[in-house]
Amino acid sequence: MADLVQLCVAGVSIGAIYAMAAIGFVLLWQTSNTINFAQGEFVVLPAFAMVLFFVIFRLPFAVAMLATVLVSTLLLGVGVKELLVARLLKMGVLPLVIATIGLSLLIRYSLQQFWTPLALPFPAIFSRDPIRLGTIVVSLEEIGNILFAAVVIGALQLFITRTKLGWAMQAVAQNRTLASVLGINVSRLVTITFVLNAALTAVAAILIAPVYLVKYDIGVSLGLKAFYAAIIGGFNQIRGALLGGLLVGVVETLSAAYISSHFRDAFALVILIAVLLLKPEGIWGVKEEWA
């Protein structure tokens, strides 16, 4: 029984990380119909930036974090939107998908070639000392990840539902044409969404780096899990991404322990396929109107 709790804590902790990556993914899809195949790399790049600012330049943590978020929002937010998305959006879904695949390869191989193919260590943000609660052992790192993610997601939810900008984003998500008729500058809003996504992935990178270690290819599985999480939870709701992330994390961990480690990657997939066939909009999703 203690093991079960231990596993759930681990699952939720890793799930919180998946959720952070999934949320930005959902936001991008909602406001700009972008399926960002490079979402995993959007986390990897800021992770390397953090190594640069915090480990190599030895800047204070808060300054390094700020610098990372800045770099991320400029390159992956504004940069990607203006150079790629703005041009490709009107061509349909597929060219943009291929372009983001190309982008993910570009980021991945550039980091590998110009920085290092090896994994880099990253100092832990929260303490790793074991805290014993009976037979269950957790550390501040698990708890910290969960709390941090909860705070960020909560803040985001407030932003979306309580601010004018948030309402504008919701409007664009529901019906782009109508929103622009109502006077919303859709293009500017899409840029803001991309900036928001880049900021989110930068924050996720800081949480992920100590756990994943910083390596050029950690984006591959992370991006995939973000996909699963977004779809399972609900592709058009932030809390859906949260639920999806937690579900994927917990299912992965529990099934590896109790069912089969050989098919570890399959269980989340089975749930994914079941959700897609039974309730395609996701568990907490809302049916999309195909305007």
CB of 4 to other proteins, least distance (A): 9
Give the interface size with other proteins as a residue count (CB under 8 A).
72
Q: Give the x/- contact pattern for other proteins in 241-260, rule: CB under 8 A.
A: --------x--xxx-xx---
Instruction: Please identify, using beta-carbon distances, which residue of 146 and 272 lies nearer to other proteins.
Output: 272
- Contact positions with other proteins (CB under 8 A) in 111-170: 112-113, 116-121, 128, 130, 132, 137, 139, 141
11 lines the binding site for other proteins (CB under 8 A): yes
110 binds other proteins, rule: CB under 8 A:
yes
Residue 188-227 contact track with other proteins, rule CB under 8 A, x = bound = -----------------------xxx-x-xx-xx--x--x
For the segment 74-103, give every residue that binds other proteins (CB under 8 A): 84, 87-88, 91-96, 98-99, 101-103
d(CA 183, CA 198): 26
Choice between 181 and 261, CB closer to other proteins: 261
The stretch among 66-74, 163-171, 188-196, 273-281 that binds other proteins (CB under 8 A) is 273-281
If the CB atoms of residues 104 and 193 are measured against other proteins, the closer one turns out to be 104
Q: How far is CA 141 from CA 16, 121, 130, 248, in A?
A: 12, 16, 10, 19
